[in-house]
């Protein structure tokens, strides 16, 4: 039965990426880019988790997420990303999301990022630890505060009432 949910999640990921393909694969010299509305790719991020702190103690909690997450960043500050990680209960999990960043304090370095998407991986006996996980896939919203200098970036990601995760990464 869990294989069906994983297959469904992969189908959703594929459909999402295919629907974004005009923005992702458009030729720079294409006339469509003259009026692309900022959907030209301006960079790629790759990040990993450094530290996680759960708000409340639970002996089952895993504080090592082993997160790896690539993101596609567009000129209009929107982004599309995917994260693979070990959830709070050491189960392999995936998060497909879209989001946007906003500069803070009129700074080139500090920003706020808000992403929302579909989260897969919270299974028995922990499927009820996240809301709306009825089909094994749940909606999730993650706010982050970040700092970027040249190609280096760090973020503090707030996982709702569960935890705070510090990530670091590179922008290409």
- CATH code at 21? 2.40.160.20
Residue 20 lies in a domain: yes
Per-residue pLDDT, 1? 41
Query: Burial level of 140, CB count in 10 A (0-12/13-18/19+)?
Result: buried
Nearest to 140 by CA among 158, 117, 159: 117
In a domain, 9, yes or no: yes
Per-residue pLDDT at 23 exceeds 60: no
Residue 167, domain member (yes or no): yes
What pTM value is reported for the model?
Answer: 0.78
Return mean pLDDT, the chain.
84
What's the domain range around 145? 2-27+38-171
The tally of domains found in the chain comes to: 1
Domain-located, residue 80:
yes
Q: Has residue 117 got a pLDDT over 90?
A: yes
Does residue 32 lie in a domain region? no
φ and ψ at residue 2, rounded to 5 degrees: -60, -30
Question: Which phi-psi region, left, alpha or beta, contains residue 96 (left: φ > 0; alpha: ψ -120 to 50)?
Answer: beta
- Give domain status of residue 33, yes or no: no
Q: Does residue 36 register a pLDDT over 60?
A: yes
Task: Tell me what pLDDT residue 4 has.
Answer: 52
């Amino acid at each position: 039965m869990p294989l069906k949910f994983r297959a469904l999640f992969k189908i959703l990921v594929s459909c999402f990426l295919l629907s974004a393909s005009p923005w992702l694969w458009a030729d720079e010299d294409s006339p469509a880019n003259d009026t692309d509305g900022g959907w030209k790719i301006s960079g790629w991020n790759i990040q990993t988790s450094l530290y996680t702190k759960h708000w409340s103690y639970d002996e089952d909690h895993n504080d090592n997420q082993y997160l790896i997450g690539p993101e596609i960043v567009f000129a209009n500050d929107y982004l599309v990303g995917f994260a693979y990680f070990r959830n709070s209960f050491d189960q392999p999990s995936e998060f497909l999301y879209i989001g946007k960043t906003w500069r803070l304090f009129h700074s080139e370095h500090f920003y706020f990022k808000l992403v929302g998407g579909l989260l897969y991986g919270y299974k028995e006996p922990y499927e009820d630890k996240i809301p709306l996980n009825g089909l094994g896939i749940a909606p999730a919203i993650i706010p982050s505060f970040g700092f970027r200098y040249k190609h280096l970036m760090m973020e503090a990601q707030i996982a709702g009432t569960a935890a705070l995760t510090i990530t670091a990464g590179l922008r290409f």
